[in-house]
Chains A and B, each alone.
Chain A
Amino acid sequence: MDVFADIGLGVQTALSLHNLLYCLLGVFLGTAIGVLPGLGPIATIAMLLPVTFGLDATASLIMLAGIYYGAQYGGSTTAILVNLPGESSSVVTALDGYQMARKGRAGAALATAAIGSFVAGTIATVIIALFAPPLAEVALKFGPAEYFSLMVLGLVASVVLAHGSLLKAIGMILLGLLVSTIGTDVNSGSQRYTFDIPEMADGISFVVIAMGMFGLGEIIRELEHESTRSVLMTKVTGLMPTKEDLKRIVGPIMRGTALGSLLGILPGGGAMLASFSAYSLEKKISKNGAEFGKGAIEGVAAPESANNAGAQTSFIPMLTLGIPSNPVMALMIGAMIIQGIQPGPSVMTEQPALFWGMIVSMWVGNVFLIILNLPMIGLWVKMISIPYRVLYPIILAFCGIGVFSVNNSTFDVYLMALFGVMGYVFSKLECEPAPMLMAYVLGSMMEEYLRRALLLSRGDAMVFLERPISLTMLLLAAAALAMVLMPAIRNKREQAFAEEE
């Protein structure tokens, strides 16, 4: 089978000293920044993106992937130790993890999270290796009409599964697409919305938008609630889970992994949805259901496995179709474009070393996570205890230097400040910035596919409905929208999101 040859190439790539080093560095930096309360994976990746620009494409993507699951795991550490989930996907981990920590079982909770993540990561890596190639092959047959419809479906699905008002999310998507048209039009060479500012001719770098809205915007929001923050640190003792613990976590880890892998592939899914669903599932079927919320070890194992599995399988649509299923993947696609790689199914055939190297490195990264995290827990605890008033000026400074370094442009720093204000205002109006970022990343591709599809069909818009695959995707998108609008499901959806908060 070809798969073995491909994986062999991947092992070779991922295990080269150069790439190993960047994987380790990524996991380390990701965890270090991810443990800081209030910094989720999006902000962490956005902040560290510029660091990777100097590397070759493979190393930079391997490092970014490392940063991602490092940040994910770091967030769980914080959730368990201080009950301050840095990101939405570790909110549920905090429920039982923090209770375990309060009972003096922080060590066991951390170890459970690490073991669960590792098992889930290993299985999810195999799933990616098995499912990505056939999917990419199908996608290679897609024409521009199919691609356009697929992107529509991706954006719609991300909104349906995200929380808040559907109408406003659609507005944010349109706004993101509109912002992506800023700059020089590739076909005619004419300038659009550039106000004759030379720095705007190449459009706005997505790093500026991501750092502005998720970095600066987040800081302003955090400062607003500053007084409510409390850091109550628990001591970490007894890292090893007991035999009894191990027995209890096998089932939840397996179920969490299965559920997480499935949800991760769905557009708009990814880590957050995965951990919530795994937790509710486990709570329903577990013998110790009554213990949930009071420090049940299953309540840590299931969501932690699920969010890691989901985080990894969300790479499948990103790598094979070039469609981000969540904002983190949007950042990855942005990074690929900056590296000069056109995301899509051709990545697998044109850049096999990058594709397979990245997949294998995900597993390597998971090994690093477990080696790195348990012994270094003391360091992470120290990082968590840095007070926010010291932290945020440093984050701001890093954002400034990072954004500047992308194009060596001071203008980008000013622009980032503008997007920071916008991000804050959006959050005040409950307009989610994540769909906007995803739409922004897809914008120029969508325009190009729309243009090509209509050129091939001689201007007939029916082409999107006449081609079966394209029609199917548009019908799925319409069905997803219709489902949210139906009152029964709408209530359930609101309930589900209310539970999260």
Chain B
Amino acid sequence: MASFIRDPKDFLSGLMFLGFGGTAIFLGQDYEVGRAIRMGPGYFPLLLSGLLCLVGAACVIRSLTRPGEPIAGLAFKPLMLVVVSTLVFGLLLRNAGMLAALAASILLSSLASSKFSLKAAALTIVLLSAFCYLVFLKALGLPIPLIGPWLGG
């Protein structure tokens, strides 16, 4: 990161706030703002995103004057695997059924651990599937197919 930034965490937080605030203003430009006495749908969001941009700017300015610690690196492997396993779970749940969704997501997320063991993952899949079948499908009656249409269920 450039040397004039003395607190990278503040700097990036500021940019993030500016980004969220700016995006909200941009997306909300068609919402009717109205006046204080009769607020339109755009009034409160505009107020908030405006303030958020101010806070963001203040963060950025502060990051140039006050020193801080560098940002520790992102743990990409757990991040990606946790996210991907959640997305896969969502994708499979309705289409391929609960069993497939559980198996795939547990296998994927287990890989994120440095102490991954296939045996433990397999055991977890079997036990958890039985538990979820009994609790969520039998007892609570959630509308999730056990085996979904993709697998001919």
Contacts and interface: CB of A to CB of B under 8 A. Distances in A.
Interface in B21-50: 21, 24, 27-28, 31-32, 35-45, 48-49
A242 B55 CA distance: 56
A424 B44 contact: no
A230 interface: no
Nearest to B38: A455
B93 interface: yes
Contact of B39 (A394, A400, A451): A451
Given A171-B52, A428-B71, A181 B45 contact: yes
A192 interface: yes
A461 B36 contact: yes
Interface string B102-121: 10011001101111110011
Interface string A158-198: 00000001011011001101100100010110101100000
B94 A410 contact: yes
B35 A396 contact: no
B103 to A, nearest CB: 10
A21 to B, nearest CB: 14
Contact of A428 (B39, B58, B72, B105): B72
Interface stretch (A72-80, A127-135, A216-224): A216-224
B90 A410 contact: yes
Nearest to A182: B45
B45 A178 contact: yes
A30 interface: no
Contacts of B78: 219-220, 223-224
A426 B71 CA distance: 11
B147 interface: no
A396 B105 contact: yes
A141 interface: no
Given A220-B75, A397-B106, A408 B143 contact: yes
Contact of B82 (A181, A420, A450, A460): A420
Interface residues of A, number: 63
B90 A226 contact: no
B100 interface: no
Contacts of A396: 82, 85-86, 89, 105-106, 109
B12 interface: yes
A220 B82 contact: yes
A291 B83 CA distance: 46
B140 interface: yes
Contacts of B1: none
Nearest to B136: A401
Contacts of B112: 223, 392
Contact of B36 (A190, A192, A425, A459): A459
A400 B120 contact: no
A416 interface: yes
Contacts of A431: 13, 16
Given A181-B48, A224-B78, A389-B115, A454 B144 contact: no
Q: Classify the interface of chain B: helix, strand, loop or mixed.
A: helix
Contact of A188 (B12, B17, B41, B45): B41
Interface residues of B, number: 72
Contact of B90 (A394, A414, A454): A414
A468 interface: no
A167 B128 contact: no
B17 A175 contact: yes
A171 B12 CA distance: 13
A421 interface: yes
B12 A429 contact: yes
B40 A192 contact: no
Contacts of B74: 424, 428
Which of A168, A193, A425, A430 gathers the greatest number of chain B CB atoms within 10 Å?
A168
A195 to B, nearest CB: 8
Contacts of A223: 75, 78, 82, 112-113
Contacts of A411: 90
Contacts of B12: 429
B151 interface: no
Contacts of B98: 401
A351 B42 CA distance: 35
B146 to A, nearest CB: 13
Interface in B59-85: 59, 62, 71-72, 74-75, 78-79, 82-83, 85
A178 B105 contact: no
Which of B59, B72, B79, B140 gathers the greatest number of chain A CB atoms within 10 Å?
B79
A174 B116 contact: no
A417 B52 contact: no
A411 to B, nearest CB: 8
Nearest to B51: A174
A487 interface: no
A495 interface: no
Nearest to A444: B44
Interface string A392-436: 111011011100110010110110110011001100111100000
Interface of A: 51, 54, 165, 167-168, 170-171, 174-175, 177-178, 181, 185, 187-188, 190, 192-193, 216, 219-220, 223-224, 226-227, 387-390, 392-394, 396-397, 399-401, 404-405, 408, 410-411, 413-414, 416-417, 420-421, 424-425, 428-431, 447, 450-451, 454-455, 458-461
The 10 closest A-B pairs by CB, nearest first: A459-B37, A413-B90, A223-B78, A459-B36, A185-B41, A389-B113, A224-B75, A417-B86, A171-B55, A174-B52
16 contacts: A171-B55, A175-B52, A178-B52, A188-B40, A192-B41, A219-B78, A400-B89, A400-B90, A400-B105, A401-B98, A401-B136, A404-B142, A413-B86, A417-B86, A429-B71, A430-B9
